[in-house]
């Protein structure tokens, strides 16, 4: 009897030790990072905001639009904002004959990823969140956010950030001019020459001319400038856009002077990542990384301390820093984006772009009237395989001698693109955006298919 009792005590003791070990593991390993979830903290003031956010997000808009908390209200209810070509109170009707609008670079193609990851990407902002102009360390940039940006670059392997300075801007747009300002000569009797290689993103010219400084002036195309000027003692600031907008080319400097590397599209969904970019001044944007163009956030990675201080000073004089609400949101998004070493987000984005390119290439392969840029495979270190690039834009050429205004030819086929002259190239070229919503892409493909089949049936629109 006492033997049985002893066995029983021994067994209970063992069970008790096992349970204690399991509890300790859970406490120090599982819950040891003090990660809080809804079960560990009683929610109070955030529940109303959360309910409002979930309510507005639940308004379906037939999948062809969205309702927003800051959108218009009709009879006390938020109304649907319909995507292009969809109309009606719930965006259910496709407007007949509506033109496919492939003009803007709005990166809505990423929206489904964030909807699939709704719980991990929502942010709650208290009414008293960071009301100060500055953080506790007297800076205007979040150290935690900076950490995640560096982490993102090291995961992707697209830029060297060790030993480099970071500056945040209101979108990369603000940093482009901050960089021109920082690289131009202040004491020279003549202004620095700002250049880019045709075809180039129009903002470079527009901003440089708009800010109309004594220290810099826009001089246009690098190649023409080089053939007309001596390369000695040249005071140039060259924009190098890699991959390029509009044609997706990986570019390098033509003039070999001071450079601003605009890496807006240097992410694995647009181009194979062949190695980390290691230039003195590189600019990136959240817009084409996670798709949050509306958040208006970009960053510069800078080697030289003086240049860094000038860029920082520009941002400080222009804005006293970047919105703290924006920085909180970007932090939340990047925390999600770096999960799984970036594989989920970049696989989602790459698959979407690859699918669009495959379908687009198949349409253009049936045409002799229109062509698109050639794509060449490269080894992508991030995905560890050789892949074709899948640029954000198709750079379409009208091949027929007489069709020198390609924008007009496409317009007649009910397609809106961005004409070549906006990129200082010929109007024989048109840029078509491939990063808009799925609805936009489907309509674009449908209109292009119609245009190409007309070409093959001998009936034409122009
Ligand atoms: C090459 C390039 N650089 C910069 C930008 C501006 O991006 P952001 O939204 O960060 O201002 C764009 C936007 O389309 C772009 O194409």
| Angle formed at CA 435 by CA 430 and CA 440, multiple of 5 degrees | 85
Q: b or e along 406-428 (b: 16 or more beta carbons within 10 Å of the residue's beta carbon)?
A: bbebbbebbbbbbbbebbbbbbb
Does ligand 1 have an atom closer than 6 angstroms to the CB of 311? no
CB-based contact 170:150 (threshold 8 Å): no
Give the pLDDT confidence of 152-163 residue by residue, as tens digits. 999 999 999 999
Give the pLDDT confidence of 200-235 residue by residue, as tens digits. 999 999 999 999 999 999 999 999 999 888 665 579
Split at pLDDT 50, 70, 90, the class of 456 is confident
Mean pLDDT of all residues in the chain? 91
CA 313 to chain centre: 25
Tokens of 334: 């990047």
- For ligand 1, mutation pick of 260, 281, 288, 292 (most atoms within 8 Å of CB): 288
| Domain ranges across the chain | 1-31, 42-98, 143-341, 343-457
Say what the pLDDT of residue 457 is. Answer: 76
Q: For the ranges 20-29, 78-87, 113-122, which has the lowest average pLDDT? A: 20-29
Say what the pLDDT of residue 233 is. Answer: 55
The domain defined by 343-457 folds into 3.90.1150
Residue 20 has pLDDT above 90, yes or no: no
Split at pLDDT 50, 70, 90, the class of 408 is very high
432 sits in the region (left: phi over 0; alpha: psi -120 to 50; else beta) called beta
Length of the chain: 462
Q: Closest residue (by CA) to atom 7 of ligand 1?
A: 172
Q: Rounded mean pLDDT of 334-352?
A: 98
Identify any residues that bridge with 195 across adjacent strands, giving them in sequence order.
220, 238
Say what the pLDDT of residue 1 is. Answer: 40
Q: Rounded mean pLDDT of 104-119?
A: 97
Give the pLDDT confidence of 142-154 residue by residue, as tens digits. 999 999 999 999 9
Residue 27 has pLDDT above 90, yes or no: no
- For ligand 1, mutation pick of 109, 171, 207, 247 (most atoms within 8 Å of CB): 171
Q: For the ranges 30-44, 271-285, 447-461, which has the lowest average pLDDT? A: 30-44
Ligand 1: centre distance to CA 107 (Å): 11
Q: For the ranges 91-100, 224-233, 318-327, which has the lowest average pLDDT? A: 224-233
Residue 247: is it exposed, middle or buried by C-beta count within 10 angstroms (0-12/13-18/19+)? buried
From 3.40.50.300, 3.40.50.170, 2.10.25.30, 2.60.200.20, which CATH number describes the 42-98 domain? 2.10.25.30
Question: Is the CATH number of domain 143-341 3.40.30.10?
Answer: no
Query: Which of 333, 327, 298, 293 lies closest to 437 in space, CA to CA?
Result: 293
CB-based contact 112:323 (threshold 8 Å): no
Say what the pLDDT of residue 229 is. Answer: 83
179 in helix, strand or coil? helix
Ligand 1: centre distance to CA 52 (Å): 32
């Amino acid at each position: 009897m006492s033997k049985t009792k002893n066995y029983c005590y021994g067994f209970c003791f063992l069970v008790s030790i096992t349970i204690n070990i399991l509890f300790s593991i859970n406490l120090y390993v599982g819950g040891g990072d003090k990660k809080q979830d809804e079960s560990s903290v009683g929610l109070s003031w955030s529940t109303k905001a959360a309910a409002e956010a979930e309510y507005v997000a639940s308004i379906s808009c037939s999948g062809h639009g969205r309702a927003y908390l800051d959108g218009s209200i009709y009879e006390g209810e938020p109304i649907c904002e319909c995507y292009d070509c969809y109309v009606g109170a719930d965006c259910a009707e496709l407007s007949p004959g509506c033109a496919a609008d492939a003009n803007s670079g709005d990166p809505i193609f990423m929206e489904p990823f964030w909807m699939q990851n709704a719980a991990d990407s929502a942010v709650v902002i208290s009414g008293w969140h960071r009301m100060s102009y500055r953080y506790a360390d007297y800076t205007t940039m979040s150290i935690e956010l900076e950490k995640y940006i560096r982490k993102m670059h090291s995961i992707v392997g697209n830029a060297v950030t060790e030993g480099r300075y970071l500056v945040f801007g209101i979108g990369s747009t603000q940093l482009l001019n901050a960089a021109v300002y920082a690289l131009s000569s202040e004491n020279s009797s003549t202004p620095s020459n700002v250049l880019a290689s045709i075809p180039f993103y129009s903002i470079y010219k527009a901003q440089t001319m708009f800010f109309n400084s004594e220290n810099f002036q826009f001089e246009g195309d690098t190649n023409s400038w080089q053939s007309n000027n001596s390369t000695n003692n040249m005071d140039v600031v060259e924009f190098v856009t890699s991959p390029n907008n509009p044609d997706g080319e990986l570019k390098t400097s033509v003039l070999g002077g001071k450079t601003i590397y605009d890496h807006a599209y240097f992410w694995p969904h647009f181009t194979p990542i062949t190695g980390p970019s290691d230039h003195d001044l590189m600019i990136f944007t959240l817009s084409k990384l996670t798709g949050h163009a509306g958040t208006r956030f970009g960053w510069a990675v800078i080697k030289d301390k003086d240049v860094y201080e000038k860029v920082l000073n520009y941002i400080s004089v222009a804005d006293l820093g970047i919105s703290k609400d924006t920085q909180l949101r970007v932090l939340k998004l990047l925390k999600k984006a770096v999960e799984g070493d970036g594989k989920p987000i970049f696989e989602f984005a790459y698959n979407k772009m690859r699918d669009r390119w495959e379908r687009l290439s198949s349409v253009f392969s049936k045409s002799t009237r229109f062509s698109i840029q050639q794509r060449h495979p490269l080894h992508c270190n991030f995905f560890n395989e050789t892949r074709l690039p899948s640029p954000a834009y198709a750079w379409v050429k009208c091949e027929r001698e007489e069709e020198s205004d390609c924008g007009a030819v496409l317009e007649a086929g009910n397609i809106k693109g961005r004409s070549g002259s906006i990129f200082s190239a010929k109007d024989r070229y048109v840029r078509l955006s491939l990063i808009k919503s799925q609805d936009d892409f489907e309509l674009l493909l449908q209109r292009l298919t119609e245009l190409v089949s007309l070409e093959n049936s001998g009936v034409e629109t122009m």
